[in-house]
Amino acid sequence: MRGHVWYFVLCHANTHLARDAQAIDWCLKSIATGKTFWFAYVDLASAYAWRGQQAEAAAAVAELLKLGPGYTVQTLVQEGSGVSDNPAFRKEFQRIVEGARKAGLPES
């Protein structure tokens, strides 16, 4: 597995665990490779929003929308809803969704 994949995995895992400062660090490393998954911007926006860093959260949303024009909270929910029915996962995922919403990702 290449480094950018590991960076993203650590970004995403820390986002799920509500370790927002660590998530931000790993998401930024993932993005810096230039080969990141667009979802790193969702995680980054959510983590920034939960830390109250609204300008950075909005910038992450803007980058996400450049990669995926028209991406919305509704899209995020649709994509993530079928991933797992594990209650812990669902709770963690809902926190990411709320963070993306707080970051300014359009609702629909």
Distance from C-alpha of 43 to C-alpha of 61, rounded to nearest angstrom:
10
Contact 30, 44 (CB under 8 A): no
User: Does residue 27 fall inside a structural domain?
Assistant: yes
Which domain range does residue 47 map to?
Answer: 3-103
**pLDDT, position 22:** 98
Q: Is residue 98 part of a domain?
A: yes
Query: Does 26 reside within a domain?
Result: yes
Residue 108 placed within a domain: no
Indicate which CATH number applies to the domain containing 78. Answer: 1.25.40.10
| pTM across the whole model | 0.95
Per residue in 42-74, pLDDT (tens digit) is 999 999 999 999 999 999 999 999 999 999 999
Q: Would the pLDDT of 1 be above 70?
A: no
Read off the tokens for 50. Answer: 């939960």
Task: Give me the number of domains the chain comprises.
Answer: 1
Cβ contact 1:31 at 8 Å: no
pLDDT at 43: 98
Amino acid at 20: D
Q: Predicted confidence band at 36 (pLDDT cuts at 50, 70, 90)? A: confident
